[in-house]
Chains A and B, each alone.
Chain A
Amino acid sequence: MVPRVFRVMSRSAGSTPVRQAMGLVVVFAVVNLVTLGFAYLSLRSSAEEAMRSNLVQLMAGFDVAASPGAAEVMVTAAAEAADPAHRVFAYIAPDGRVTGNADARLTADGVEIRPMPEGRPLGRDGYLPLIDRKAGGVLIIGESLTPIRELGRTFLGLLALSLVPTVLISLGLGAALAARARARVERIEQALGRLSEGALDTRIPAEPGRADDLARIGARINRMAEAQEAATEALKQVSADIAHDLKTPLQRMTVLLHDLREGLAPGGREAGLADRALAEAEGAVAVFQGLLRIAQIEGGGTRPPSVPVDLNALVASMAELYGPDAEEAGRALTLDLAPATLAVPGDKGLIGQALANLIENALRHTPDGTAISLRTAVDGGRPVIEIADRGPGIPEEEREKVLRRLYRLERSRTTPGHGLGLALVAATARLHGAELDLLDNAPGLKVRMAFPAGRDRGA
C-alpha cells in the first residue's frame, strides 16, 4: 500500500493538487514535531532538576558523619535500604576502600559506577551522580536515569501515535484525490492533443453530477470543439462546392478549347491563341488548386498521416530529379546527406511537393550559374532539411510575408509563379509539426525545415 502511494505521488509530482497535499502534510508534521519536542525538553529539564535537588538533600544527611568509620556505617545502612538499580551509594574511604551498593571510582571527568562483586545489578540507563567529600573520603550518590529515558520513550510513542497515522492518512487521501484529479486533467490533456491534431470530433467525456472547475473547463472545451468542428465542416463544404462549381466550367472550357484547337491549322494565329487560352486556363487551375490545398491543410480537418518518410531517400531523389535542370542552367546542385537514417512520420507527397517548390524557387529566382545545396542533418535529435542558394536572398523584413498566400517580392513580379509555393511549404511544415525558418545564407537564402524529434511528436 505505502509503496503504491509513493509511486502515485511521485508520478503525480507535476500536478498542482498533489503538490498542495504534500505541502500540507509537511507543514502539519513540522508543527507537531516542534510542539512535542519543546514539551519533551522542558519536562526533561524539570525532572532532572527535581532529581538533582533530591540528591543534594540526601547528601546533606551524611554531614553528621564525623569519621570515615561513621560514614561507612551510615552508607552501608542507606545502601542496604536502596535498590542499586534505582539509587546507588558508594563511599570511598581515605584508604581507598569502597563501601555501598555499587563500586565507584573517580575518573578525570567524573565518576565510574560499576556493580559490586556479588552485589545486585545496576540500572541500564546510567545514573545522575552527585560527588562530595565526607569525613576525609568521597561519597557518591547516583540516581538512576531510567525515569528520564522513559520520558523520552513516552514522547517517542506519543509522536508515533499522533504523527505517523496522520501523515499516512493524509498521504493516502492526498494521493487518491490527486490521482483522481490527475486522471481528469489527463483526459482533458489527451482530448486537447487529439483536437490540435485535427480530430475535431473528440470530446471530453461528460461527468454527470460534477460542477467543479475541471468539469466546467471540460464543458467549455467541448463547446469550443463543437464550434470548431462546425466551422471546419462548413469550410470543407464551401471548398467542395467552390471546387465543384468552378472546376466543372473550367473542365468544360479546357474541353472546348481542345476541340477548338483540334480543328485549327497548326502554326496559325488562331491555334496560337487557343494554346495561350489553354495555358491561361491551366494557370487558373493551378492557383485554384494551390489555394484549395493550402486551405485544406490549414483548415485543421486533415490529420498528418503517420507513414514513415525516409528524408534522405526523398532529398536524394529530388536532387537526382532536378540535377539535369540545374546543370543545364550551369548550376552546381550539391547534396549532403546525414549518415543516419532520417525517418519522419508524414505525407511523402506533401513533403516532396514542398521540397520541389523550394528547389524550383531557387532555380527560378536566382541567376543561372548560382549554386544550390540540399542538406539533411540531425540537430538536437531533430531531423532537418536545408535548401540553400547563393542568390540575392530575401530581405529580413520580407521573410515573414513571403510565407503568405499570393504574396510576391517586388523583383519577382515578372518571373512565373503564383505566390503559393512558399505558403504551401509553410502549411506542410505546420501540418508535420516542423519548424520552418528562412535564414540568411550570406549571401543567399537558406530554408530550414526542422521536424520534431522522434518521441516528442504531439501526443
Chain B
Amino acid sequence: MKLLLVEDDATTAAYLAKGLREEGHVVDHLADGREALAQVMRGGYDVLIVDRMLPGLDGLSLVRALRSAKVTVPALFLTAMGGVDDRIEGLRAGGDDYLVKPFAFGELSARVDVLGRRAAQPVVETVLKAGDLTMDLIARKVTRAGQDIDLLPREFTLLEHLMRRKGRVQTRTMLLESVWDLSFDPQTNVVETHISRLRAKVDKPFARELIRTVRGAGYKIED
C-alpha cells in the first residue's frame, strides 16, 4: 500500500516509516500539515497516518479540509491526547481510526491494514479455510483434518474473526471491539485466556499451530 505519514516528531516518524516499509508498504513522510494537504490532494495514497499536533496545519483541520474537498482516503489519527472527547472529536472530523501515543508498532500496523482493506469489496464466503482447518458458516461447523471441533458461540465468533482476516494481525483491543463489542483497556490480559481456550480446542490436539501470537501486537491465524 502507499501510505503518507504526517508526523513532526522525527524519532517516532523514522521508526514508524522503517517498520511500515519492512512490511512492504511504500511510505512518504511529511512533518508539516500544510504540505501534507497539498500532497494528498495530488492523490495516490491508500491510507494516511496523521499526528494531531502538527506545525502549519493541525491534524484535525487537515483531515477536515480533505473531507470537505471530498477526498475519502482513510485516515488514522495519532495523538498524545487520550481524553474521552478527543476520540469522538477525531472521528467527527472525518478520521477513520484513532491511536493514542505511545502505542505498540503492531497495533498501528494492524490498524493500517484494516483501513487499507476497508475500501475493497467484502467477498461473501460461506466456508472459511486456514490450513487444514475449515469453518462452515451456514452449518456453524468447524472441522480440522476431518475431525469435528465443538466450540462455544463466542469461541466460534473469535475464530471466525481471525479466519476472515487470515494472515493479518488482530490486536487485543481490535478483538475486544469486534468480537465483544467492548471498547476499553483491560489491565489484565483477559483476551489471552479466551485465545488459549480456543487454542486448546483448535491447535492442541494437532501437530501444527495455526493461531500465532505476534509479540507486542496480538494474534493471527495462518495457513
Do A and B form a real pair? yes
When distances are taken between beta carbons in the complex, the residues of chain A under 8 Å from B187 are 286, 356-357, 360, 416-417, 421
Which stretch (A114-122, A250-258, A441-449) binds chain B?
A250-258
Q: What count of chain B residues pass the 8 Å CB interface test?
A: 34
Instruction: Name A292's contact: one of B83, B181, B185 (CB within 8 Å).
Output: B83
Cα(A322)–Cα(B88), bound, Å: 27
User: Which residues, 209 to 223 on B, are CB-close (under 8 Å) to A?
Assistant: 216
Instruction: Name B9's contact: one of A248, A289, A296, A302 (CB within 8 Å).
Output: A248
Write the B179-206 contact mask toward A (1 if CB under 8 angstroms, else 0).
Answer: 0111111111010011001000000000
Q: Which residue of A lies closest to B182 (CB)?
A: A352
Cα(A416)–Cα(B215), bound, Å: 22
When distances are taken between beta carbons in the complex, the residues of chain B under 8 Å from A305 are 88
Q: Does B149 contact A (CB under 8 A)?
A: no
Q: Which residue of B lies closest to A240 (CB)?
A: B81
Q: Does B26 contact A (CB under 8 A)?
A: no
Cβ-defined contact, B80 with A325, below 8 A: no
When distances are taken between beta carbons in the complex, the residues of chain A under 8 Å from B185 are 353
User: Which residues, 39 to 96 on B, are CB-close (under 8 Å) to A?
Assistant: 53, 80-85, 88
Cβ-defined contact, A293 with B184, below 8 A: no
Given A254-B102, A328-B193: A293 touches B180 (CB 8 Å cut-off): no
Q: Which residue of A lies closest to B87 (CB)?
A: A349
Cα(A368)–Cα(B181), bound, Å: 28
Of the candidates A286, A352, A360, A421, the one having the most CB atoms from chain B within 10 angstroms of its own CB is A352
Output the least CB separation between A376 and chain B (Å). 16
Given A250-B101, A254-B102: A353 touches B80 (CB 8 Å cut-off): no
Cα(A325)–Cα(B186), bound, Å: 12
Output the least CB separation between A214 and chain B (Å). 34
Instruction: Name B101's contact: one of A251, A258, A328, A347 (CB within 8 Å).
Output: A251
Q: Does B141 contact A (CB under 8 A)?
A: no
Q: Which residue of A lies closest to B195 (CB)?
A: A324
Cβ-defined contact, B193 with A281, below 8 A: no
Q: Which residue of B lies closest to A428 (CB)?
A: B84
When distances are taken between beta carbons in the complex, the residues of chain A under 8 Å from B176 are 321
Q: Does A244 contact B (CB under 8 A)?
A: yes
Given A321-B180, A321-B190: A255 touches B15 (CB 8 Å cut-off): yes
Cα(A285)–Cα(B80), bound, Å: 11
Q: Does B100 contact A (CB under 8 A)?
A: yes
Of the candidates B15, B83, B181, B194, the one having the most CB atoms from chain A within 10 angstroms of its own CB is B83
Q: Does A174 contact B (CB under 8 A)?
A: no
Cα(A239)–Cα(B84), bound, Å: 13
Q: Does B11 contact A (CB under 8 A)?
A: yes
Cα(A248)–Cα(B176), bound, Å: 27
A interface secondary structure, majority = helix
Cα(A240)–Cα(B105), bound, Å: 23
Output the least CB separation between B33 and chain A (Å). 15
Cβ-defined contact, B9 with A317, below 8 A: no
Output the least CB separation between B17 and chain A (Å). 11
Q: Does B154 contact A (CB under 8 A)?
A: yes
Cβ-defined contact, A248 with B101, below 8 A: yes
Instruction: Name B83's contact: one of A296, A324, A353 (CB within 8 Å).
Output: A296
Cα(A248)–Cα(B80), bound, Å: 7
Instruction: Name A347's contact: one of B12, B80, B81, B84 (CB within 8 Å).
Output: B84
Q: Does A363 contact B (CB under 8 A)?
A: yes
Q: Does A259 contact B (CB under 8 A)?
A: yes
Instruction: Name A348's contact: one of B85, B100, B102, B183 (CB within 8 Å).
Output: B183
Cβ-defined contact, B188 with A363, below 8 A: yes
Instruction: Name B182's contact: one of A253, A293, A317, A360 (CB within 8 Å).
Output: A317
Q: Does A375 contact B (CB under 8 A)?
A: no
Q: Which residue of B lies closest to A416 (CB)?
A: B187
Cβ-defined contact, A317 with B53, below 8 A: no
Cβ-defined contact, B84 with A293, below 8 A: yes
User: Which residues, 243 to 298 on A, are CB-close (under 8 Å) to B?
Assistant: 243-244, 247-248, 250-256, 258-259, 281, 285-286, 289, 292-293, 296-297
Instruction: Name A247's contact: one of B80, B84, B184 (CB within 8 Å).
Output: B80
Additional 10 contacts, C-beta under 8 A, given A321-B190, A352-B184, A357-B187: A250-B101, A251-B103, A252-B9, A253-B102, A314-B182, A317-B181, A320-B154, A322-B190, A352-B182, A416-B187
Q: Which residues of B contact A (CB under 8 A)?
A: 9, 11-12, 15, 53, 80-85, 88, 100-105, 154, 176, 180-188, 190, 193-194, 197, 216
Q: Which residues of A contact B (CB under 8 A)?
A: 239-240, 243-244, 247-248, 250-256, 258-259, 281, 285-286, 289, 292-293, 296-297, 301-302, 305, 314, 317-318, 320-322, 324-325, 328, 347-350, 352-353, 356-357, 360, 363-364, 416-417, 421
A-B pairs, top 3 by smallest CB distance, nearest first, are A353-B184, A247-B80, A251-B102
- Could you pull out 19 A-B pairs where Cβ atoms are within 8 angstroms? A239-B83, A243-B80, A244-B80, A247-B101, A251-B101, A251-B102, A254-B102, A255-B15, A293-B83, A297-B84, A302-B84, A302-B85, A317-B180, A322-B190, A324-B194, A325-B188, A349-B183, A363-B188, A364-B188
